[in-house]
Amino acid sequence: MVKLDVQQDVPLAPLTTLGLGGPARHFIRVRTEESLVEAFRWAREEGVPVQVLAGGSNVVVADAGYPGLIIHNQLLGCSVAKDGVVRVAAGEPWDDVVHKTVSADLAGLECLSGIPGSTGATPIQNVGAYGQQVADTLQSVRVLTRDQLEPVEFGPDDCEFAYRDSLFKRRPDRWVVLEVTFGLRPGGKAKVEYDELAGTLGSSPSLAETRQAVLALRRSKSMVLDPDDPNRRSVGSFFLNPIVTDELANQVVQTALADGLVNDAAAVPRFSVGGGKSKLAAAWLIERTGFHKGFVRGAVGISSKHALALVHHGGGTTAQLLSLADEIRDRVKSRFGVTLYREPRLLG
C-alpha cells in the first residue's frame, strides 16, 4: 500500500510559469504510477474534484485557487534506444527529452526544442513548431482511465490528432497520460521547412545545428524560459493560431486592404491547410487591433517580443490577465470577424 503525503492549501502560482493564482485545497506530489492511482482513490473517497498539474507552462490558475485535489505529476524516466524508440514518463521535462534525442542522433523532435512543460502534455495538444508536431513520430501513449483507474495504450490513430488538438484535449476528464513512446529516425536528416528557420541555417544542417537555431529563434521571441527575461512569466502563446474558412480569410485580407493595414494582399500572413480552410497568424491580427508588443496594463500585458504571449509582470491577478485576454479576443472579433480561442487550460 502506497503512503500518500496529502498537503493542504499549497500555493500553485510558484508551480506555474505565469506565477498567478491561488492555492490548491489539497495537494499530492506523485512519483510513481501506484501513487497516482492512490491519489485518485483518495480524491474519490473524500468526494473532491481532482486535476493533474505537471510542468505548469500551459495553465492559468484562478485567483481563488483550486477547491479540490491537485496531483503534481512527477513521473520521471526516459529511455532512448539505438533503434530510435524513445519511451518517456509523463512528468519528464520535454526539452530534456529533445536534447537527449538530438544528442543520440535521432531525428524527429529537433524542431520542438525549447518548448517548456512536461512530456505528458505534448500529445494532449499535439505540440508542434516549425512544421514538426509530436503526432508525426508518436508511436503510443499509455494513459490511466480516470473512471476505472486502469492503464490503457493508445496508438497514433486512436489519439485523433489534429492541429494542436487531440482526443485527450477534447475529453480532459477521461484519461491521464502516464507515458509517451516515440519512433525516431536514427541518423535521419533534420526537418527544416519554415523559411524563418531555414534562413538561419546552411544547407543540410545537423540535428544539433537545427536545435540550436530553433532555440535562438525562440529565445529572440521570449519563448524559452529564462529567469532574467522580463517577459518570462507567460504561458507562451495565449491564443491558438485560428484556422478559418478560405472565405473568412479572404474577408480578413479585404478588411486589411480597405483599412490601409497592408498595400498588398500577400502581406497578410495566411497558409492554406486544405479542405477550403486557411490558417491565420493570431499575433498579426492582435497587433492590427492596436494591441502592440510591450503593451502594459498594470501588472499584466503583452510580451515585448511576441504579441501572442500575455505576460504577468509580478503582483497581478488572474482576473486582470483574463480581462485583458477577453478584450483582445473581442477586438479581433469585431475588427476581423475571427474568433480567437484560448490555448492554456483554466484551473479552478
Note whether 127 binds ligand NAP by CB under 6 A.
yes
Residue whose cell numbers read 507552462: 57
| Cell numbers found for residue 101 | 534525442
237 is catalytic: yes
Note whether 241 binds ligand NAP by CB under 6 A.
yes
The residue within the footprint of ligand NAP, chosen from 29, 87, 279, 345 (CB under 6 A), is: 279
Nearer to ligand NAP, 31 or 219 (CB): 219
Cβ neighbourhood burial of 196 (10 Å; 0-12, 13-18, 19+) = exposed
The residue within the footprint of ligand NAP, chosen from 4, 156, 194, 287 (CB under 6 A), is: 194
113 is catalytic: no
Nearer to ligand NAP, 96 or 193 (CB): 193
The number of C-alpha atoms within 13 Å of 327 and in the hemisphere containing its C-beta is 15
Q: Which of 89, 90, 41 is nearest to 69 (CA)?
A: 41
Q: Which of 25, 164, 218, 329 is catalytic?
A: 164
Judge whether 201 and 209 are in contact, CB under 8 Å: yes
The one-letter amino acid code at 83 reads D
Q: What minimum distance in Å lies between the beta carbon of 235 and ligand NAP? A: 9
Cα end-to-end distance, the chain, whole Å: 30
Nearer to ligand NAP, 93 or 236 (CB): 236
Provide the mask over 290-319, with x wherever binding to ligand NAP is found by CB under 6 A and - wherever it is not.
Answer: ------------------x-----------
Q: Which of 237, 278, 288, 303 is catalytic?
A: 237
Span from 81-89, 190-198, 260-268, 325-333 in contact with ligand NAP (CB under 6 A): 190-198
Cβ neighbourhood burial of 155 (10 Å; 0-12, 13-18, 19+) = exposed
Nearer to ligand NAP, 50 or 235 (CB): 235
Note whether 271 binds ligand NAP by CB under 6 A.
yes
Beta strands in 147-221 (DSSP E): 151-154, 175-183, 185-186
343 is catalytic: yes
> What is the Cα–Cα distance from 241 to 342, expressed in whole angstroms?
10
- The footprint of ligand NAP (CB under 6 A) covers 125, 127-130, 164, 194-196, 221, 236-237, 241, 269, 271, 279, 281, 283, 308, 343
